[in-house]
């Protein structure tokens, strides 16, 4: 599995101690089974569009809340940037499907 925005999100959340493990991230932020990221790595696969969409939605939701707080504005802005990156990946993967690549 190549480095994706999902990996960047996990790294950030792990760094700020919002999640303790990939299992927790897979379950709580991606809405998937605890072994989701491990399975992607094992199969050298990309996350599904649906999974990326769930992550983008959560990032946008929490990002909008955090930018309203002076002491967490920078983190909220980072969440919103990552949400936009998720949307870009969704568009890229979707376009590849309808172009037949």
pLDDT band for position 71 (cuts 50, 70, 90): very high
% of the chain with per-residue pLDDT over 70: 97
Structure tokens at 88: 């870009």
pLDDT at position 2 = 60
Buried residues in 52-62 as b, exposed as e (16+ CB within 10 A): bbbbbebbbeb
- Phi, psi of 9, deg, nearest 5: -65, -45
Residue ranges of domains in the chain: 5-99
């Amino acid at each position: 599995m190549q480095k994706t925005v999902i990996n960047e999100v996990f790294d950030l959340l792990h760094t700020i101690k919002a999640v303790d493990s990939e299992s927790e991230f897979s379950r709580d932020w991606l809405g998937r089974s605890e072994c989701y990221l491990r399975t992607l790595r094992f199969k050298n696969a990309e996350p599904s569009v649906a999974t990326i969409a769930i992550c983008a939605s959560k990032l946008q939701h929490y990002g909008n809340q955090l930018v309203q707080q002076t002491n967490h504005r920078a983190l909220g802005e980072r969440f919103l940037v990552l949400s936009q990156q998720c949307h870009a990946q969704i568009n890229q993967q979707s376009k590849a499907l309808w172009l037949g690549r």
